[in-house]
Chain A
Amino acid sequence: MSPASQETLPLLLEIGCEEMPARFLAEAQKQLGDQLRAYLRANRLLENPNALLETYSTPRRLVAYLPQVAARQPDKVEDVMGPPVKAAFDAEGKYTRAAEAFAAKHGAEVSALKRVTTPKGEYLALETREHGQPAAEVLSRLLDVLLWNMSFPKSIHWGKPDGAKFSFLRPIRWIVALLGEGKSAEVIPFNVAGVPAGHKTFGHRLAGRNAIAVSGFADLERNLRAAKVEINSEARREMIREASKVLLEGSESLVEDAELETWHVNSTEWPSAIAGAFDHSFLELPREILITVMRGHQKYFAVEDSAARLRPRFMAILNRADDPKGLIRAGHERVLRARFSDARFFWDTDQKIPLRDRLPLLEKVTYHEKLGSYADKVRRMEAIAGEICRVLRDQGKMTLVDETSAKRAVQLCKCDLTTQMVQEFPELQGVVGGLYATAQGEPPEVADAIYDHYLPQGAEDRCPRTTIGAVVSLADKFDSVAEGFRAGLAPTGSSDPFGLRRAGNGVIKIAIEALPGFDVLAFAERTVEGSRGPVAQGDPVGTLCSFLRERTEFYLRTSGGLRGDTVRAIVHSFKSWSPPSDALLRGKQLEPFVTTDAFQALAVAAKRTRNILSKSATQADRGDRYGIEEHLLSAGPERDMFEAYLKLKGQLEDFAGRGMYAEAFKQVAQVRPVVDRFFDKVMVMDENLDLRANRLRLLDHLNALVFLRFADLSQIESSGSTVGAPTSEEK
């Protein structure tokens, strides 16, 4: 007897590999689960789309477990359509040749045919039944296809064990594929890359090289634990936390590093920790360098006291339960001693040539093949920083002394690229320059600016601490973007080989957060226009400026947290982007209003006004005047609106001048009844041409002041529609 269609069986799959890279492991685990669910669904083995599916991973295995997959595919019942009933029977009601031929083609008796009513009429049809197959049979065909179709950012090819060129994250060395559990568990027969599926797994490398037979998921989990493998990565994370907590002394804590912790979770099968020590004298080296040495090369956690001072200790995570003879700790301490000695050697050697004497060496450091050396870049940065400083001094945000410091910082900021320390630890560029500047007696404001000048490195990162630092960073990133565009390295689609989007995001973030009030967009237009040099393609000024506007819009939507329609309202307004910090402020102060009834109504009025002004009315309709002629205004709604307009005009400029956009928008909201009444009662396109012209001019003024001045109200979406959905442009 075949099992009933509801009968289910547990399915276990384990792909055993050589050590997979920690950085890809979580994604690989997820992909295996997603693919498995999709394949099982598509093959009618998983009726419930939300059926339980658990996945696990260690560096040496990907595991998927489904407690309930169908033991057998349900039968697939389908009607195969035959001839129309009209053609299937002759006058005497007997089957025609057409009907008989159809039945014969499908190996059935005509009597088995049934009648089916379709929109086209009545037809004969044959009900066919594709018998479902046992899950094991389906899976044995399906699982190797699934593994063939998995894809990874970087995969390896390790030979053609079964004649085909297969690649995976790392070589596959064993496969467990079981359907059913306990004594009735059966191996699903398939093989991939020459590895046959079986029921044997392998433990931790230290647990020996013998295979372990398993009969289901619980058995696998239990046996692997006994063989020092914890397949649950969150459990491993706990093991790491527990193990290191126990080793901390007094008020010590680990210097927090979530990324490093996850790396260890994904590169161990059975983690534990050891605490090592290093010589006090190394603490003379700066914290940043010590942490980078410990983390970057050795993957150690640094240890600090309650006052955030580094302790001469470190935490190493092991991929085994213990350090039976203390040899592992001694080994790590020895390696770290060598690494720290190296760093100290770099520090001492680097001091022999101070940063200020390294400027000429930058002539030989390539910035970019097409853009010359870092010395060239520093010269350009000096000019840009000078321009920025001039603007900031005009705004009263900088002194001449500050400007001198900024210039000094620009000259020195790239010099650390020639030091051994940065060649060894590229991620410390800038930081090393700042530390060396301090050690070499540069003023603190110069050293801090050098230290910070690569910030911000991402949307979440902080900006430089000081205005001088912000100027140096902005000059650096602005130059990267402007020169990148000039050399034809503009980003296209998903490709951005020169990292211009990131640099552009940095430019905008600094302009908004660190130098509020600085109009970087206007600055770009002025500066780039003034620059000379070969141009690789098209119109670099236009391209650069529209790129920076795009980055501003991106910032407003992401870091700024504004709704899509708010951003459009801001960028399409007369006041537009300028400066970007003001655009953000306006957007934030506009948002509380956009869902109010008054603004929803004003948005409609704004669209209507725009339609009238751009579609219905011609320039001739407006007459040859600009101003509004009061004597032509009729009493009532028209006159009221004019009065409201006059009153608003004064108030808005005043509020806007003080950055009080919320107040301005509040005033705007109040004109709603007047505007509504105007459109209700007044015929703009009056037959009297003078009246028509005057009314159009009134609308022109109203449009400029109310609907477009600080925000383009016509961009606001009705609250019913989805936030951020594109508006259809009315023409």
Chain B
Amino acid sequence: MLNFQDTIFALSQFWAKQGCVIALPYDLEVGAGTMCPETFFRVLGPNPCSVAYVQPSRRPADGRYGENPNRLLKHTQFQVILKPPPKDVQDVYLKSLESLGIKLSEHDIRFEEDNWEAPTLGAWGIGWQVMLDGLEITQFTYFQQSGGIDLEPISVELTYGLERIAGFLQNVDDVFEVLWNKSVKYGALRREEEFELSVYDFEAADAEACRKLLDTYEAEALRLLSMRVAPAFRPASGGPHEAGRSQNAGMPAADRFPLRKVYEFALKCSHLFNILDARGAISVTERVALIARIRRIACESARIYAARQAAQPEVQPA
């Protein structure tokens, strides 16, 4: 029987053998593994990409103070991007389940239509939810657009719900009873965090403060975007890092643009939006407008990334 961390090890091993880079979880709050730059940007443009990573994902509205055995504010995704996907991508996916000790001959696996859309990212895809004996364990998507840009080649995105899979493997009904390792339970590690995050998101969050933060992050993103054509930033001469900077000082201004930071501000905004939403603080007309504001930054970032790719394709390590 695999415990929670074994499950992560097994999937990482499996996908590493398939040639995936095992990346690290992203160090910002995200609603899903899709939002990480490793997915959002790398599905754009012509360069192949195989990457897998664990990603803790926060959905403030799903918070239940750690009281509900099936629902978490922060759950754990295992995300895989395959670009381009192999022709037998479904079979490879099924083999990954076998690597977890699931004997397909004893279970009922279904690929049920389920299409996916993230309006704040201008991203959508077509695919399935994979059902294992009635339990949704994976979202399997042929990505069609990211940042409002049509994708070519297409990427397959696999998102495993690790808590569900672990509960299934351990035959446990309550997520907090899942064994993380041999002796420590999921609840011991995570229940307090669930409780505290729920208290903040539902009760303690100051809507005005969150709104101000959102405005500030947005303004910072827009400020950077406005300087894209003629960046005002230059390495300071005589500073403590003079030697390091001097090498890139001669780069074209556009290449010095801190694109990923712009996108990180979009992620910050997105998370604040989710908190405000869970708090019930988003007014009637505000909702659509807020989504559009965040999408604008995300889509603008995607366009810049795609333009860079077109100008200077990355060299892919063999």
Contacts and interface: CB of A to CB of B under 8 A. Distances in A.
Interface of A: 18-19, 21-23, 59, 154, 156-160, 165, 171, 173, 205-206, 209, 267, 298, 300, 316, 318-320, 323-325, 327-328, 330-332, 334-339, 341-342, 345, 361, 364, 366-367, 369, 372-373
A318 B108 contact: yes
16 contacts: A18-B111, A19-B112, A154-B126, A157-B144, A158-B85, A159-B153, A159-B154, A165-B152, A205-B109, A267-B110, A328-B107, A330-B133, A331-B135, A332-B134, A341-B70, A372-B284
B134 A331 contact: yes
A154 B132 CA distance: 25
B105 A206 contact: yes
Contact of B106 (A159, A171, A327, A335): A327
Given A267-B112, A341-B69, 17 more contacts: A19-B113, A19-B128, A21-B113, A22-B112, A23-B113, A157-B154, A159-B84, A159-B152, A160-B152, A160-B153, A324-B105, A327-B106, A327-B107, A328-B106, A331-B107, A332-B133, A345-B68
Interface in B116-148: 126, 128, 132-135, 142, 144
Nearest to A361: B280
Contacts of A339: 70
B132 A331 contact: yes
A568 B207 CA distance: 59
B70 A342 contact: yes
B285 interface: yes
A489 to B, nearest CB: 15
Given A366-B284, A369-B288, A335 B126 contact: no
The 6 closest A-B pairs by CB, nearest first: A331-B133, A21-B113, A19-B111, A332-B134, A335-B134, A156-B126
A342 B68 contact: yes
A324 B111 contact: no
B171 interface: yes
B115 interface: yes
Given A332-B134, A364-B283, A325 B71 contact: no
Interface in B270-318: 280-285, 287-288
A373 B113 contact: no
B134 A336 contact: yes
Interface stretch (B12-20, B86-94, B252-260): B86-94
B70 A338 contact: yes
Q: In terms of DSSP, what is the predominant structure of the interface of chain B?
A: loop
A518 to B, nearest CB: 32
Contact of A173 (B87, B126, B283, B284): B87
Contact of A342 (B71, B88, B94, B283): B71
B186 interface: no
B18 to A, nearest CB: 17
Interface string B238-281: 00000000000000000000000000000000000000000011
A336 B173 CA distance: 10
Contacts of B90: 18
A323 B133 CA distance: 10
B142 A156 contact: yes
A316 B134 contact: yes
A364 B280 contact: yes
**Which of B85, B90, B91, B284 counts the most chain A CB atoms within 10 A?**
B284
Contacts of A205: 94, 104, 109
A323 to B, nearest CB: 8
Contacts of B26: none
A288 to B, nearest CB: 21
A229 to B, nearest CB: 15
Contacts of B111: 18-19, 59
A158 B171 contact: no
B133 A335 contact: yes
Contacts of B106: 324-325, 327-328
B168 interface: yes
A371 to B, nearest CB: 9
A275 B161 CA distance: 27
Contact of B142 (A160, A171, A334, A372): A171
A156 B144 contact: yes
B108 A319 contact: yes
- Give the interface residue-count category, chain B: 35 or more
B75 to A, nearest CB: 14
**Which of A156, A335, A367 counts the most chain B CB atoms within 10 A?**
A335
Given A21-B113, A159-B154, A369 B71 contact: no
**Which of B111, B144, B154 counts the most chain A CB atoms within 10 A?**
B111
B173 A337 contact: yes
B69 to A, nearest CB: 6
Contacts of B284: 364, 366-367, 369, 372-373
A338 B115 contact: no
A205 B97 CA distance: 14
Contacts of B87: 173
Contacts of B104: 205-206
Contacts of B85: 158-159
Nearest to B61: A423
B41 to A, nearest CB: 19
Given A319-B110, A336-B134, A331 B144 contact: no
A108 to B, nearest CB: 52
Contacts of A330: 133, 171
Nearest to A364: B280
Contacts of A160: 152-153
B201 to A, nearest CB: 15
Contacts of A338: 69-70, 173
A499 to B, nearest CB: 18
Interface in B46-77: 64, 67-71
A334 B173 contact: yes
A330 B107 CA distance: 11
A361 B153 CA distance: 46
Contacts of B110: 19, 267, 319
A369 B285 contact: yes
B315 to A, nearest CB: 22
Contacts of A364: 280-284
A189 to B, nearest CB: 20
A454 B37 CA distance: 44
A352 B150 CA distance: 47
A713 B237 CA distance: 96
A569 B106 CA distance: 67
A331 B168 contact: yes
A76 B113 CA distance: 47
Contacts of B171: 330, 334
Contacts of A165: 152
Given A327-B107, A345-B68, A209 B91 contact: yes
Contacts of B67: 345
A361 B104 CA distance: 48
Contacts of A324: 105-106
Given A154-B115, A331-B132, A335-B135, A320 B280 contact: no
Contact of B113 (A22, A209, A336, A366): A22
Contacts of A23: 113
B26 to A, nearest CB: 27
Contacts of B108: 318-320, 323, 328
A327 B68 contact: no
Contacts of B154: 157-159
Nearest to B71: A342
Nearest to B282: A364
Nearest to A332: B134
Contacts of B135: 331, 334-335
Contacts of B88: 209
Nearest to A418: B280
A373 B280 CA distance: 13
A378 to B, nearest CB: 14
A325 B103 CA distance: 11
A332 B132 CA distance: 9
Contacts of B283: 364
A321 to B, nearest CB: 10
A161 to B, nearest CB: 8
